[in-house]
Every structure is written in structure tokens, then in C-alpha cells.
Structure 1
Amino acid sequence: MILAQLTDLHIKEEGRLAYRKIDTSAALEAAFAHLRTQTTRPDLVLFTGDLVDTGRPEEYARLRTHLAGLDIPFFLMPGNHDDRAALRAAFLDHAYLGREGDRICYIIEHLPLRIIALDSLVPGQGGGALGEGQLDWLAARLAEQPDRPTLVALHHPPFATGIGHMDQIGLADSAAFAEIIARHPQVERVLSGHVHRPIHARWAGTIASIAPSTAHQVALDLRPDAPSAFVLEPAGYQLHHFTPGAALTSHTAIVGDWAGPFPFFDEEGRLIE
């Protein structure tokens, strides 16, 4: 199976640019167009938060218009820029989001790889937390199927990246989260977004990763006091490839109209098989 992970869309109302510079809607459509060029169609698209920029109903309405053109099953998750009530109201037909309550957490069971989606949104804050109740829920769900390969997803990464201003708004209860993940070796990967860069780390006995944004990227500046800034590097998304009995592998796709693919030839012009 192939899971496409898209994150940090930051969709705005029509006519508005993110940070007065980025047309996030055009960027998302470009990402969808690039996704359609994949020679193997993804089985599922998982959007790991910051679906819109300010959580306004008008932004979710525009997001819904974009998603109407996506011909692959998809699931939505909230990030710190989202609003749970507005998200649920805009996607009433997505029953997994629930109708009320605090957290939007759910399990996707019908694929070879079990997917557990968590909610790290703390309203009014850039940083995130899972909370004791959701952590208990996660521990119980992992204990139900200890031998089934599982992927856990959330918006805020559970590890420090070295990008100081983003680490300051990271996951507050990452240590408690790590204790649970470390007890469950069936967790193949922990996926996240938030930092707008492709980053990987060994964490809690597994691999934790961050996908790039479909729009703008956070500046790669590892000084502890680096200012908060973004760059217009190429957008991207990740493809997670899983075969039962084999390793889960992850690939970062860079959005763009790139030349190729070209066959390989040696110096004499002979095709290299």
C-alpha cells in the first residue's frame, strides 16, 4: 500500500495570500497535479494538520472546493492553525471527525497498515499537546493489536529539530507520548507536520518524521536564536510505501514540472539496464 502524506496547506479565503506572499491554494493544486503523475496511485491521502490558516469557515469552504477534485480517498487531521468546530461543520460527511467533544482522534483499520490519527491542537496556542485522556486512549488502542504494523500520526513532531523557534512551539507532553510508543514495537513510524521541512529522527524505538509543506518551507537555520522565517523552497509531500512482512519506506516528493525521466546510457551511448 502507498500512503500519501500532505501537510501544512494553510488555505486562505479567496483573494488572500498567506503572509501577503504565498498563494497556498495554487500550491495545493500543484501538489495534487504532481500527485496524479505518480506511476502508482496512492491508496489514501492523510492530511496532517494546518489545513487552513486561521480556522475560519470561509477557509474550510475553499479547502472543500479543492478536495472535491481529489480522486483518492482522504482523511483530515487538525493542526494548531485549525479550529475543530469549523472543521467538523465544513466536513459533516466525514464521520470520523466526530460531531462534538474535545479531540479529533480516530483509527483507519481497512488497510494493511493500521493508522492511528491523534489530535495535538491546543486552541489559541502554537505549541501542542496530546493530553492525558488521549494518551490513555492511544495506549489502549495499541494494546488491542500488538502484532499489527501500525503508523501513528499527529501534527506536532515529538522530537526537537534544532530549529529553535519551532521547537519552542513543539509537543509539550512528548515524554509521556514516547513512553507509550516505546512499549509498542509494532509502531513502524510516527508521522507529523508543523515544521514545514522533511526531517527524520530515531525516537522512542521507532522513526519519527516530518513532511514538508505543500506551500512554504520554514527556513533551515539551526542557530538557537534564529528568527522565525520562511523560504519559498519547492513544496513537497511524502509517500509512505508498505508491504506486509517488509519495512515501511518513506519518500519525499518535490512538487514541480521536472524534466525526465531519462534512461541511463554509458559513455559509448549504450543503454544501461
Structure 2
Amino acid sequence: MLIAHISDFHLFANEPETPPVRLDIERVARRIVDDLANFSPTLDAVAFTGDVADGGSTADYDMLKDVLAPLKVPVLIVPGNHDRRANLRAAFADRLPFETGSFLNYETQIDGLRVLALDTLVEGEVAGALAPESIEWLTGKLDRRTKEPTLILLHHPPFPSGIKPLDGNALIAGREEIATLVRNYGGSLILLAGHIHRPYQAIWNGAYCAVGGSPAFQVSLDLAATVHEPGCITEPYSYFVYRIEVDGTMAVHTRHIPIEN
């Protein structure tokens, strides 16, 4: 099967909440979705790892649904720190099997792939957290080991990029708990995240992990940064395409999308 991974569109209907977000992000997002919709062979699903909106208003999510409309395959979404939980739930309740309760966690199946979507949003904060309720939920899911690969989606990565100021605002609470769950899991795990605004891949506690880049803005590669976040940089935008077999064999491809600056 083929799964595309995108992240951090930061769509806004009126004004951006985040200063670096490009003002023509709607146009750029439509260009990316057009490429996804016309990908050959047809994708089986698109995983969207948070900050789908920049302010989380009802109008933002109405725009997002219109932007995503050309996609005729499942779109899997988790909330980021710029999303608003109640509005996101209301906008996609007919498409995503959100659990009842306070958080937007859910489980779904894409052919031979199990997907576990995690809500790491702490509204009003940049950094993310896994609440005890979410850790308990994930523990129960991973206790049920399966032969099929399992994909975990979350916005804030628990696996470090090495860019310290960005890692300090990633997943804070619940990092050790999810590390233990990943390390002890006996099957094939894939973790996909966003938030860092710089694509990278990692092996963390035995699992393959990746962060998707952002078309809204990307930050420079500065592994020497210790206090201040790296500045923005103009780089080609790309998304990842995962070719996943039922036995867990996987190939990762980088798809570059020309977008004017």
C-alpha cells in the first residue's frame, strides 16, 4: 500500500496566527493536494500530522475541507498546537472515528495497516503532551499486538531532531511513557509526526520515525542551536510516500513539489 505523509499546512481563512506563515498558503496547499490526488498509482491514504489550521476557527476548517476535497482516499488527521480540538472534531466527525472523551484519539484500519492517531494538543501551549488518558488508551492498543504493521500518528514528536530549541517545544509530558511502549512493542511500528517544520527521519527505540516538512514555512538546519530557534529558510518542499507491505517491509520515497516563493 501507499501512504503519503503531509503536515503543518497552517491554513487560515482570515489572518494568520503565526507570523512566518506564507500569505498564499491556501494556493500552495491546493497545489500539494492536486499532486496527491493525481499521484500514480493511486495512494491508499494521506496522513496529516497536525497544524492543519493556523487558528482553528470554524472558517479555517471549512477551508481545509474544501482544499482536501479532491482527495478520494482516507485522510487521517491529528490535531496540532495551532488547531482547536472542538472545532476540529465538529468538522471531521463524519470522516474520522474519534473516541468519546476529551481527546481526539482514534483507531482505524487501512487495508493491512493499523493506524493509531494520538492527540498531543495542549490548547494555548506550543509544546505537546500525552495526557494520562491518552497514555492509557495507547497502552491498551499496543497490548494487542498484531502481525500487521502499526502506524502511530501524532503532531509533537517524542523522538529528537537534535535541534535543541525545537526539541524543547516538542512532546514534553508523556515522552518517557511512549518511549517505553514503543521499546517494548513486539511488532512493526512506524511513527509519523510534524511540528518541527523541517523534515527528518530517525530510528527511535527500535521504531522508524519521521517528521513531515511544512509548506507554510520551513526552518534551517542548525544542529548547533542551543537557545534560539533556527530562522526560516527557502527550500524545495517535499512530502514522503511510504510503500508498506503487510510483513512490515517498507520503502520511503521523497516527492518534491514545485511551489513558487
Distance 1:17 1:81, change over 3 A: closer
**Deviation at 1:95?**
4.7
Q: Is the 8 A contact 1:188 1:248 kept in 2?
A: no
For structure 2, the 5+ residue unaligned runs are: none
Q: What CA deviation, in whole Å up to 9, does each residue of 1:238-266 have, x standing for no partner?
A: 11111122512222212128xxxxxxxxx
What is the alpha-carbon distance in structure 1 between the residues aligned to residue 220 and residue 30 of structure 2? 23
Pair 1:231-2:233 in alignment = yes
Q: Is the 8 A contact 1:185 1:205 kept in 2?
A: no
Q: Which moved more, 1:128-137 or 1:9-18?
A: 9-18
Q: Which moved more, 1:17-26 or 1:3-12?
A: 17-26
Distance 1:198 1:95, change over 3 A: closer
The one-letter code sitting in structure 2 at the alignment partner of 1:236 is: S
What is the alpha-carbon distance in structure 2 between the residues aligned to residue 133 and residue 30 of structure 1? 38
Distance 1:246 1:186, change over 3 A: closer
> In angstroms, what is the RMSD of aligned CA positions?
2.1
**Deviation at 1:112?**
0.7
Whichever of the two has the greater Rg, that structure is 1
* Residue 111 of structure 1: aligned partner: 111
* Residue 48 of structure 1: aligned partner: 49
TM-score w.r.t. length of structure 2: 0.90
Aligned length: 256
Q: What CA deviation, in whole Å up to 9, does each residue of 1:8-51 have, x standing for no partner?
A: 01001157696266121111111112224432111011111000
Q: Is the 8 A contact 1:46 1:76 kept in 2?
A: yes
Q: Secondary structure at the match of 1:136?
A: helix
What is the alpha-carbon distance in structure 2 between the residues aligned to residue 144 and residue 246 of structure 1? 17
* Residue 138 of structure 2: aligned partner: 138
What is the alpha-carbon distance in structure 2 between the residues aligned to residue 114 and residue 181 of structure 1? 15
What is the alpha-carbon distance in structure 2 between the residues aligned to residue 75 and residue 243 of structure 1? 19
What is the alpha-carbon distance in structure 1 between the residues aligned to residue 248 and residue 164 of structure 2? 36
For structure 1, the 5+ residue unaligned runs are: 258-273
The one-letter code sitting in structure 1 at the alignment partner of 2:140 is: A
Pair 1:182-2:183 in alignment = yes
Q: Is the 8 A contact 1:196 1:217 kept in 2?
A: yes
Q: Secondary structure at the match of 1:252?
A: strand
Q: Secondary structure at the match of 2:87?
A: helix
* Residue 68 of structure 1: aligned partner: 69
Percent identical among aligned pairs is 33
What is the alpha-carbon distance in structure 1 between the residues aligned to residue 21 and residue 171 of structure 2? 28
**Deviation at 1:105?**
0.8
**Deviation at 1:228?**
4.7
**Deviation at 1:76?**
1.7
* Residue 161 of structure 2: aligned partner: 161
**Deviation at 1:231?**
2.2
